[in-house]
């Protein structure tokens, strides 16, 4: 332990005590001192020289070989005799055999430890690497311990998370939806994922969400997603209301949260929304970025933003007694007139006043007849489809519960990144037919200039011209190289056949 | 009618409160060792301890010379003295005392790096015993059989840090009849007397309390250990230090991702222990270590690799149910042993460790709290009462040999 520094100062004393104990004992026992002492000194010196040459202490090996016949000597002496046999102990790194480990009973009546003091071998098993079966079992143990911890210290009686995601097929859909999907897959509670797709149900989206492993409800929405952000927000609201109707119809039980497909959710969000009783709000971080617009406007916007030092957060605001006092919305004034209107625009995309993603509600609020449903919740059918935020579903917005230590924790981030509306992407992100070669790999056997074999030039030229004509009609650019080599090979064989025929 | 209404209301409130608070406490299990359910016994009223007044050269002056004695792992001897001075079990009348305590700090002689030097301790102890035997009649009455001493050093009252030397010296002859309160415990060892009370080494309780992390942090480290595997200064080839067990742990499991073992001392040591399921507590130069205390306080199941070790308060705490014992020769199979423990056994061990009385029993808090290590020592002493009449010597009878032991010990201190 910590006694090492002390031992350093007494090392000499100790090392002589047990290394030299053999000569000391023997010399003490035998009355003849000097010849024995000189002999051992000489032997010690010779051994030191040999060790210097060899580079390790070989003394123990020597003793091992000398005394290996009497195997019982190796381990089993009680302490008093151990001083003489201290050097006899096994050399380093004894392979793991069941070593003869005799349990010597106390020879004398004096109390002597069964555990032997002195140098022991270091046992190493033949394959000191992890065993995969055990690693799996260890991970299972870790999982059960963590499950127990969650039961004891985590959320009591966790509720299912019902995530509502409006989406539509476009270039960035796979990117966004995969992010949401991975977040939902990590949620330690039950998850029901309602995906509402603009433009109807497509195989593309279905393929993406099928891999989630959570229960999904895929709904198609007749309208196509328009190109302007304004109209897009409106359509998304309609899609969300459609999803809420599904919750009502199927009487899904749990907590409804709105997971827009380009948002980023932290795992703490799902733990925090378990605390909601009826209707809650969390703080969203707004990442309103400008997609590489021209420098001047960027700089101007930045200065404005810095001047006002606005916090890019939307969510509930509390007073000193941790009660809901109002709402903090994103300050969009600096971006006035410079925000994106169409999806294609490279300007900043602005959020609404209060995004849907920042609200969660108990699904029982949506059910038609429940006993303990509070009366401040409007019926879904009586709500106009043009509502801005879920607060319009309430008769009295002040009943909202602020979550995340009263809005101080930002638990999710709002971000809108889209490609141009005319951007193309391979369907299902599977590339078929294979891509054309733009840069040849150095290792492939295609040289930069295809070699023209000189001898068989004449007949080849005619045929290659014909073949070249063929390839030209067939495909335009890249295939020609590979085809030509192919053709060249084929031509060669044809030529040789011809030659053989001629001959 | 009204009374029964009130009773019902009270029961309802009580039940309601219980329901509210019950799920905030972690699940624990009652601990009862071989002596029964004794962890929470109150020693007050069961025994009386008389504290001898020794000149301050035996205690206070040593502490003044080196205040580091208060923070290292042998500080228990000082804190026990302070606890006894103000404890209700203390009596100022030695005639009614059951036990006699001698406040002598034998390990408070530190090197510049903080290691205790035991070379003067035998002489110091001898001089103290000479003092109490001449000034008070109680030592000669029993030749020390109703006296207890705190000797928290490496090998207890053998007063040496090297095991062979300690064994050769044996327990100080003058202490053969006294009860020794020590941290060292190994079965069939010369330095462990029958009837000694094993205590945990001192670990600073405030520091450990300050570094608690939220209990819902998932335990994701399977096995955790920080410490030396090879004592390079004193035993570079290994095989001597820890009887080769620590070196075996390193050689077999350094490539195993489940084993978070290393010699580095991180600043997050306490926090890491709270994120681990198993904490290795292998022997070092002596079989005991503060790691056991830390593992218990942080809820990490201790894996004890020390043959024949006797753990603290072994009659009050059922260590086999709480920790995992691995023989030194089984170290290469440590991973198999640990993964083959059934999950419900592991969860039960964690419940036992979560018991607050278990954590309290391992610590020496200032000021003392009920159920802490001080009280466990007193409980242990109380369990040895009443004294057998045979310990009282007939007048003129002497059992101890005052001139036994190495010649150097007989020099006055």
Give per-residue pLDDT as tens, B386-396.
888 877 877 77
Token pair, residue B231, equals: 């004592």
- Cα four-point dihedral sign A66, A72, A75, A79: negative
Judged by CB atoms within 8 Å, which residues 326-365 of A form the interface with B? none
> Is the Cβ–Cβ distance between B198 and B311 less than 8 Å?
yes
User: What are the strands, taking DSSP E only, across A313-354?
Assistant: 313-318, 324-328
CA pair distance B181, A267, nearest whole angstrom: 51
CB-based burial of residue A469 (10 Å sphere; 0-12 exposed, 13-18 middle, 19+ buried)?
exposed
Instruction: Tell me what pLDDT residue B71 has.
Output: 86
CA pair distance A146, B300, nearest whole angstrom: 13
CA pair distance A312, B12, nearest whole angstrom: 49
Whether residue A58 is predicted with pLDDT greater than 80 in this model: the reply is no
In angstroms, the Cα distances linking A441 to A155, A281, A434, A481 are: 55, 55, 16, 14
Q: Which residue of B has its CA nearest to A143?
A: B220
Q: How far apart are the first and last CA of chain B?
A: 79
CA pair distance B296, B309, nearest whole angstrom: 17
pLDDT category at A10 given cuts 50, 70, 90 is very low
Number of H helices, E strands in chain A: 16, 12
A186 touches chain B (CB under 8 A): no
A62 touches chain B (CB under 8 A): no
Instruction: Tell me what pLDDT residue B226 has.
Output: 95
Chain A neighbors of B248, CB-CB under 8 A: 122-124
Chain B neighbors of A57, CB-CB under 8 A: 237
Q: Do B154 and A118 touch (CB under 8 A)?
A: no
The residue segments making up the domain with residue A226 are 159-289+310-414
CA pair distance A41, A26, nearest whole angstrom: 13
The percentage of residues in chain A with a pLDDT greater than 90, rounded to a whole number, is 20
Instruction: Tell me what pLDDT residue B377 has.
Output: 92
Instruction: Tell me what pLDDT residue A100 has.
Output: 34
Residue the block writes with tokens 């000569």: A23
Number of domains in chain A: 1
Q: Considering the entire predicted model, what is its pTM?
A: 0.67
A127 touches chain B (CB under 8 A): no
> Is the Cβ–Cβ distance between B300 and B278 less than 8 Å?
yes
Chain A neighbors of B243, CB-CB under 8 A: 115-116, 120
Rounded to a whole number of angstroms, the CA Rg of chain B reads: 23
A vs B: CB pairs below 8 A: 179
- Compute the nearest-CA separation of A436 from chain B (Å): 43
Q: Do B216 and A149 touch (CB under 8 A)?
A: yes
Q: Which residue of B has its CA nearest to A155?
A: B216
In sequence order, which ranges of A373-456 are alpha helices (DSSP H)?
403-407
Whether residue A499 is predicted with pLDDT greater than 60 in this model: the reply is no
Q: Do A141 and B190 touch (CB under 8 A)?
A: no
Q: Do B167 and A129 touch (CB under 8 A)?
A: no
A13-25 pLDDT, tens digit each: 443 334 433 334 4
Chain A neighbors of B303, CB-CB under 8 A: none
- A167 is a domain residue: yes
Instruction: Provide the CA A158 distance to its chain's centre, in angstroms.
Output: 25
Task: Please name the residues in contact with B332: beta carbons below 8 A apart, sequence gap of 6 or more.
Answer: A96, A123, A124, A125, A128, B248, B252
Residues of chain B with pLDDT under 50: 15, 17-24
Give the nearest partner residue to B23 out of A57, A115, A156, using CB atoms.
Answer: A156
Interface probe for A, chosen from B223, B239, B347 (most Cβ of A below 10 Å), is: B239
Average pLDDT over residues A305-322: 73
Q: Which residue of B has its CA nearest to A105?
A: B188
Task: Please name the residues in contact with A280: beta carbons below 8 A apart, sequence gap of 6 or more.
Answer: A273, A359, A360, A361, A400, A401, A402, A403
For residue B324, report the phi and psi dihedrals to the nearest 5 degrees: -110, 125
Range B214-252 burial, b when 16+ CB lie within 10 A, else e: eeeeebebbbbbbbbbbbebbbebbbbbbbbbbbbbbbb
- A2 is a domain residue: no
CA pair distance A481, A468, nearest whole angstrom: 10
Chain B neighbors of A125, CB-CB under 8 A: 252, 332-333
Instruction: Tell me what pLDDT residue B195 has.
Output: 87
The percentage of residues in chain B with a pLDDT greater than 90, rounded to a whole number, is 42
CA atoms within 13 A on the CB side of B349: 24
CA pair distance B103, A109, nearest whole angstrom: 34
Interface probe for B, chosen from A18, A97, A138, A275 (most Cβ of B below 10 Å), is: A138
Q: How far apart are the first and last CA of chain A?
A: 93
Q: Do A128 and B255 touch (CB under 8 A)?
A: yes
> Is the Cβ–Cβ distance between A421 and A341 less than 8 Å?
no
In angstroms, the Cα distances linking B372 to A448, B196, B235, B358 are: 83, 18, 37, 9
User: What are the strands, taking DSSP E only, across B265-318?
Assistant: 276-282, 301-305
A413 touches chain B (CB under 8 A): no
- A389 is a domain residue: yes
Instruction: Tell me what pLDDT residue A452 has.
Output: 59
Q: Which residue of A has its CA nearest to B347?
A: A145
Q: Do B338 and A114 touch (CB under 8 A)?
A: no
Instruction: Tell me what pLDDT residue B396 has.
Output: 74
Interface probe for A, chosen from B233, B350, B353 (most Cβ of A below 10 Å), is: B233
A183-236 pLDDT, tens digit each: 999 998 899 999 999 988 999 899 999 988 899 999 999 999 888 888 888 999
- A209 is a domain residue: yes
Q: Which residue of A has its CA nearest to B339?
A: A138
- A31 is a domain residue: no
- Compute the nearest-CA separation of A277 from chain B (Å): 17
Q: Do A121 and B244 touch (CB under 8 A)?
A: yes
Look up the ipTM and state it. 0.83
- A19 is a domain residue: no
Q: Which residue of A has its CA nearest to B24?
A: A153
pLDDT category at A46 given cuts 50, 70, 90 is confident
A4 touches chain B (CB under 8 A): yes
Chain A neighbors of B156, CB-CB under 8 A: none
A150 touches chain B (CB under 8 A): yes
Query: Which of A327-336, A391-400, A484-493, B134-143 shows the lowest per-residue confidence on average (mean pLDDT)?
Result: A484-493
What SS3 class is residue B3?
A: helix
Provide the 10 A C-beta neighbour count for residue A130: 16
Chain B neighbors of A6, CB-CB under 8 A: 111, 113, 115, 117, 161
- Compute the nearest-CA separation of B385 from chain A (Å): 26
A124 touches chain B (CB under 8 A): yes
> Is the Cβ–Cβ distance between A257 and A355 less than 8 Å?
no
Query: Which of A43-47, A287-291, B355-359, B364-368 shows the lowest per-residue confidence on average (mean pLDDT)?
Result: A287-291
CB-based burial of residue A301 (10 Å sphere; 0-12 exposed, 13-18 middle, 19+ buried)?
buried
Provide the 10 A C-beta neighbour count for residue A298: 15
CA pair distance A390, A354, nearest whole angstrom: 9
A85-143 pLDDT, tens digit each: 333 333 334 443 333 333 333 333 345 556 777 788 888 888 878 888 889 999 999 99
Range B159-197 burial, b when 16+ CB lie within 10 A, else e: bbbbbbbbbebbbbbbbbbbbbbbbbbbeebbbbbeebb
Q: Write the CATH number for A359.
A: 3.90.550.10
CB-based burial of residue B127 (10 Å sphere; 0-12 exposed, 13-18 middle, 19+ buried)?
middle
Contacts 24+ apart (CB under 8 A), A23-26: A25/A83, A25/A84, A26/A84
> What integer best gives the mean pLDDT of chain A?
72
Average pLDDT over residues A270-298: 77
Chain B neighbors of A141, CB-CB under 8 A: 222, 277, 339, 341, 343, 346
> Is the Cβ–Cβ distance between A267 and A226 less than 8 Å?
no
- A205 is a domain residue: yes
pLDDT category at A478 given cuts 50, 70, 90 is very low
Edge-to-edge order in the sheet of strand B324-325: B259-262, B221-226, B276-282, B301-305, B324-325
Chain A neighbors of B341, CB-CB under 8 A: 141
Q: Do A101 and B329 touch (CB under 8 A)?
A: yes
Token pair, residue B47, equals: 């025994």
Token pair, residue A127, equals: 């394959």
Going by C-alpha positions, the residue among A200, A189, A201 that lies closest to residue A162 is A189
Average pLDDT over residues A176-181: 93
Instruction: Tell me what pLDDT residue A182 has.
Output: 94
Q: Do A149 and B162 touch (CB under 8 A)?
A: no
Provide the 10 A C-beta neighbour count for residue B138: 18
For residue B198, report the phi and psi dihedrals to the nearest 5 degrees: -90, 130
Chain A neighbors of B288, CB-CB under 8 A: none
CB-based burial of residue A163 (10 Å sphere; 0-12 exposed, 13-18 middle, 19+ buried)?
buried
Cα dihedral A463/A468/A473/A474 (nearest 10)? 100
CA pair distance A35, A55, nearest whole angstrom: 29
- Compute the nearest-CA separation of B325 from chain A (Å): 16
- A356 is a domain residue: yes
A121 touches chain B (CB under 8 A): yes
pLDDT category at A67 given cuts 50, 70, 90 is low
B215-237 pLDDT, tens digit each: 888 999 999 999 999 988 888 87
> Is the Cβ–Cβ distance between A283 and A409 less than 8 Å?
yes
Provide the 10 A C-beta neighbour count for residue A253: 15
Q: Do B234 and A153 touch (CB under 8 A)?
A: no
Rounded to a whole number of angstroms, the CA Rg of chain A reads: 41
């Amino acid at each position: 332990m910590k006694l090492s520094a002390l031992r350093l100062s007494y090392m000499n004393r100790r090392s002589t005590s047990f290394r030299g104990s053999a000569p000391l004992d023997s010399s003490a026992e035998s009355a003849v001192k000097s010849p024995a002492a000189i002999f051992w000194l000489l032997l010690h010196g010779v051994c030191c020289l040999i060790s210097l040459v060899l580079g390790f202490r070989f003394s123990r090996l020597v003793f091992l070989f000398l005394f290996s016949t009497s195997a019982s000597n190796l381990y089993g002496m009680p302490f008093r005799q151990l001083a003489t046999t201290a050097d006899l102990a096994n050399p380093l790194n004894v392979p793991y055999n069941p070593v003869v480990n005799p349990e010597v009973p106390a020879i004398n009546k004096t109390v002597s430890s069964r555990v032997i003091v002195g140098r022991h071998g270091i046992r190493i098993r033949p394959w000191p690497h992890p065993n995969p079966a055990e690693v799996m079992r260890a991970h299972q143990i870790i999982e059960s311990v963590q499950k127990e911890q969650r039961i004891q210290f985590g959320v009591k009686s966790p509720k299912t998370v019902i995530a509502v995601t409006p989406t539509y097929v476009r270039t960035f859909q796979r990117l966004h939806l995969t992010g949401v999907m991975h977040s939902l897959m990590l949620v330690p509670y039950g998850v029901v994922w309602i995906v509402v797709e603009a433009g109807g149900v497509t195989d593309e989206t279905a393929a993406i969400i099928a891999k989630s492993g959570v229960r999904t409800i895929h709904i198609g929405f007749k309208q196509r997603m328009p190109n302007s952000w304004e109209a897009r927000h409106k359509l998304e609201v309609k899609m969300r209301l459609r999803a809420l109707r599904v919750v009502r119809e199927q009487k899904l039980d749990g907590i409804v949260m709105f997971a827009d497909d380009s948002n980023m959710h932290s795992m703490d969000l799902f733990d925090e929304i378990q605390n909601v009783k009826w209707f809650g709000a969390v703080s969203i971080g707004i990442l309103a970025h400008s997609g590489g617009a021209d420098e001047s406007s960027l700089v101007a916007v930045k200065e404005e933003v810095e001047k006002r030092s606005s916090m890019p957060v939307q969510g509930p605001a509390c007073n000193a007694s941790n009660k809901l006092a109002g709402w903090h919305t994103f300050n969009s004034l600096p971006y006035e007139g410079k925000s994106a209107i169409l999806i294609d625009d490279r300007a900043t995309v602005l959020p609404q006043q209060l995004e849907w993603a920042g609200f969660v509600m108990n699904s029982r609020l949506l059910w038609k007849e429940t006993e303990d449903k509070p009366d401040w919740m409007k019926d879904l059918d009586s709500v106009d489809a043009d509502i801005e935020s879920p607060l319009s579903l309430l008769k009295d917005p002040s009943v909202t519960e602020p979550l995340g230590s009263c809005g101080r924790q930002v638990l999710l981030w709002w971000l809108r990144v889209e490609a141009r509306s005319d951007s193309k992407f391979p369907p299902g992100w599977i590339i078929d037919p294979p891509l054309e070669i733009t840069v040849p790999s150095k290792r492939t056997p295609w040289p930069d200039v295809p070699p023209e074999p000189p001898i068989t030039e004449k007949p080849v030229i005619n045929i290659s011209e014909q073949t070249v004509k063929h390839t030209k009609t067939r495909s335009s650019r890249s295939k020609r190289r590979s085809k030509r080599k192919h053709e060249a090979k084929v031509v060669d064989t044809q030529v040789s056949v011809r030659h053989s025929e001629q001959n | 009618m009204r009374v029964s209404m009130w009773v019902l209301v009270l029961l309802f409130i009580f039940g309601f409160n219980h329901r509210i608070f019950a799920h905030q406490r972690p699940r624990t299990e009652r601990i009862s060792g071989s002596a029964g359910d004794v962890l929470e016994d109150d020693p007050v009223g069961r025994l009386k301890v008389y504290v001898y007044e020794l000149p301050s050269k035996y205690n206070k002056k040593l502490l003044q010379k080196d205040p580091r004695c208060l923070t290292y792992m042998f500080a228990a001897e000082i804190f026990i003295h302070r606890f006894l001075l103000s404890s209700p079990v203390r009596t100022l009348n030695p005639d009614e005392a059951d036990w006699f305590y001698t406040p002598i700090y034998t390990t408070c002689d530190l090197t510049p790096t903080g290691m205790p030097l035991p070379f003067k301790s035998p002489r110091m102890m001898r001089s103290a015993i000479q003092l109490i035997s001449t000034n008070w009649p109680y030592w000669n009455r029993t030749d020390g059989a109703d006296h207890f001493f705190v000797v928290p050093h490496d090998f207890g009252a053998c007063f040496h840090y090297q095991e062979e030397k300690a064994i050769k010296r044996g327990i100080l002859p003058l202490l053969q009849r006294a009860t020794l309160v020590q941290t060292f415990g190994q079965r069939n060892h010369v330095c462990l007397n029958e009837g000694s009370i094993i205590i945990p080494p001192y670990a600073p309780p405030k520091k450990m309390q300050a570094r608690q992390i939220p209990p819902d942090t998932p335990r994701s480290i399977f096995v955790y250990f920080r410490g030396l595997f090879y004592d390079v200064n004193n035993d570079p080839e290994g095989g001597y230090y820890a009887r080769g067990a620590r070196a075996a742990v390193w050689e077999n499991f350094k490539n195993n991702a489940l084993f978070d073992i290393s010699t580095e001392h991180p600043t997050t040591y306490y926090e890491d222990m709270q994120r681990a399921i198993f904490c290795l507590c292998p022997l070092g130069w002596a079989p005991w270590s503060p790691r056991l205390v830390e593992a218990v306080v942080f809820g990490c199941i201790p894996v004890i690799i020390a043959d024949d070790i006797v753990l603290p308060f072994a009659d009050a705490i059922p260590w086999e149910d709480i920790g995992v014992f691995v023989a030194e020769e089984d170290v290469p199979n440590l991973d198999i042993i640990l993964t083959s423990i059934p999950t419900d056994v592991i969860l039960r061990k964690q419940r036992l460790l979560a018991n607050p009385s278990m954590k309290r029993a391992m610590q020496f808090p200032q000021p003392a709290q009920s159920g802490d290590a001080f009280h466990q020592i007193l409980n242990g002493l109380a369990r040895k009462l009443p004294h057998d009449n045979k310990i009282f010597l007939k007048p003129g009878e002497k059992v101890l040999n005052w001139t036994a032991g190495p010649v150097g010990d007989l020099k006055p201190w």
